[in-house]
Amino acid sequence: MARKSNPYFQFKQFRVNQGQCAMKVTLDACLFGALVDVEDSRRILDIGAGTGLLSLMAAQRSFAHIDAVELDSEAACQAQQNFDQSPWQQRLQVIHSAVQDLPAGTQYDTIICNPPFFENSLRAPDERRNIARHTDTLSFSQLAESINQLLENDGMAWVLLPTVSTPSFLREINSRTRLCLYSSTVIRSSEERNSHRNALAIKKLSQSQPYIASEKRVTIYDKDHRYTQQVTRLLEDYFLKL
């Protein structure tokens, strides 16, 4: 029998209800939300908001206005409920839409996205989960073009991808846009394992200021299968039991 997901995830300053969402709260998403640099952000766009987790994490560490765009109607409703129950409801807004349909001219200094990432892969029985996980409704080329259009010239976009999908996305930003990789944080379960997620920081190219991408590493578990000090520092302001 399949294990049922907890209908909510309680953080120190907010709760994420997730019963109506195809994609639930994950440790990788929480790490990504903690890694994103939002402290000086003014306007943040969360692409494919799902439960609203990343928006809520960003709201806790910034004073920014945050637009969370979500295509799935049930997830959009759930995110709005989570926002309304948070301490930052006046700065959080759900936009029930595809990101490709946002008005031209709208721009943000920070964009965060944990996008659909499976390309031409085997489908699950749950169609809403397929939409959330596969690139059918938001291809890498569409995501790259949307970020290029919506990101301010001096802004930063953050994208979380599986390591195996990262080269495909980087090819799209290099071939279709003015975007370039600024830094990459590779996430791995332990020292013995290869990375499984990449948190990418992306900026617009500047001829006067070329970027040489830097790389960092986050290892989740130590040899005793406890959170590393690195992960504890990232999540201690969010998780109840750290």
Band of residue 206 on the pLDDT scale cut at 50, 70, 90: confident
- Is the pLDDT at 128 greater than 90, yes or no? no
Question: Which residue segments constitute the domains of the chain, with CATH numbers given?
Answer: 8-235 (3.40.50.150)
Percent of the chain with pLDDT over 70: 87
Span 110-118, average pLDDT: 84
Band of residue 208 on the pLDDT scale cut at 50, 70, 90: low
- Is the pLDDT at 130 greater than 60, yes or no? no
Span 119-143, average pLDDT: 57
Largest CA distance in the chain: 58
Residues 43-102 have pLDDT tens digits of 999 999 999 999 999 999 999 999 999 999 999 999 999 999 999 999 999 999 999 999
Span 96-116, average pLDDT: 92
